[in-house]
Amino acid sequence: MDKALLEQVITIAQQAGEAILEVYQRSEGMDIQTKQDDSPVTAADLAAHAIMEPALAALLDGVPVLSEESKLPPFDVRGQWQSYWIIDPLDGTKEFIKRNGEFTVNIALVEDGIPVMGVVHVPVLNITYAGGRDLGAFKIADGTRTAISSRKLAQHIDSGKPVEVVASRSHGADAVDALMNRIQGALGPVDTKNMGSSLKLCLVAEGAADLYPRLALTSEWDTAAAQAVVEAAGGIVVDDKFQLMRYNTKEDILNPFFYVIGDPSYDWKPLLLG
C-alpha cells in the first residue's frame, strides 16, 4: 500500500471537512432536505461530496468512486469492480444537524471486497484517523501524528479496569443491553460509551474501547473507512456469522449486524453470538 496515496487521501478528507465546517458555522441554517429514503441531507453533505468525488477519481486511473450522495450503480456494473473508492462525505448527518460535533468524513479504498486503506476525519475536533494494509494506523490531532493500535483485552482486565463497550445512542438498544449482560457475567464490570458516526470504530482502533457491537442496519459507506483503520491498528470487524466483513458482494449495500473487536486473540465468538 502506498504511503503517498494515503497522504493525498488525508488531504482530500481534510479539505472536505473545511467545507463542512463552513456550513456548520453558518447562522442562517444548513439547507436541510430529505432524500427518497427519508434520511436528511444538508448543504454540507453536498459540498463535501463535490470536493471528494472528482479529487478521488483523479488519484487512480480507472478506479470509480461510490458515494452516498451519488446514484448507486446497478450491481451488474459495480460487481465487476476490483478496486473502488467508497465515501460518505458526511457520516452522521443527524449528529451534524444536532450540532453535537460527532460526525465524520469517510474515505476508503476497497480491493476485492476488502477495505485496504481508510481515512476518517472529524472536522469539529480537527482529528484524523488513517491507516492501511502494511502501513499501520495513526491519529492526527491538531497536526501531531501518533501511531495507534487496538489493545489487548486480558491486559486491560488484569489491570482491574472494566471492559469498555461503545454503542450507538439510538439503534439496537435492547439487543445491546442483552449483550452487555452476557459480557458482564463473563468478564466483570462493563463501561459503555455512546457516540455517533464512525467515531465508534475509531475508539476501538485507538485502544480507547474494547468492543463496538452494531446490532442495527448501516450501509457500506458508513463503515469501510473505519474498518480499514481498525484492521490496520490490529483489530477486526466481523459480521453476525463471525466472518470478516466484506464489501460490494450483493445488490444492496446494507451491512449485516457486526462487531468491531479490538483484541482478535480473545475468543469473543461464543460470548457475542450467545
Q: Is 191 annotated as a binding residue?
A: no
**DSSP helix/strand/coil, 36:** coil
173 has a pLDDT exceeding 80:
no
- 119/11 Cα distance (integer angstroms): 10
**DSSP helix/strand/coil, 253:** coil
Q: Is 251 annotated as a binding residue?
A: no
Fold of 153-273: D-Maltodextrin-Binding Protein; domain 2 (3.40.190)
pTM for this entry: 0.94
Determine the pLDDT at residue 174: 78
C-alpha cell at 155: 491486559
What does the pLDDT look like over 141-152, one tens digit per residue?
988 999 999 999
Question: Is beta strand 33-34 parallel, antiparallel or unpaired with respect to 40-41?
Answer: antiparallel
Determine the pLDDT at residue 19: 95
Share of the chain above pLDDT 90, in %: 76
Among 122, 192, 188, smallest CA distance to 159 is for 188
- 274/271 Cα distance (integer angstroms): 5
The number of helix segments (H) and strand segments (E) in the chain equals 9, 14
Q: Is 92 annotated as a binding residue?
A: yes
Conformational region of residue 111, where left means phi above 0, alpha means psi within -120 to 50, and beta covers everything else: beta
Q: Is 93 annotated as a binding residue?
A: yes
Cell 476501538 belongs to which residue?
A: 204
Among 115, 138, 199, smallest CA distance to 7 is for 138
Q: Is 91 annotated as a binding residue?
A: yes
Q: 3-24 vs 43-57: helix axis angle to the nearest 10?
A: 160
Task: Give the chain's end-to-end CA distance (angstroms, integer).
Answer: 37
Q: Is 112 annotated as a binding residue?
A: no
What does the pLDDT look like over 9-51, one tens digit per residue?
999 999 999 999 999 988 566 667 766 665 777 889 999 999 9
Determine the pLDDT at residue 36: 63
Q: Is 28 annotated as a binding residue?
A: no
CATH superfamily of 3-148: Fructose-1,6-Bisphosphatase, subunit A, domain 1 (3.30.540.10)
77-to-54, 58, 64, 74, 110 alpha-carbon distances in Å? 20, 20, 11, 6, 16
Per-domain boundaries in the chain: 3-148, 153-273
Q: What is the mean pLDDT of the chain?
A: 92
Q: Give φ, ψ of 195 to 5 degrees.
A: -160, 155
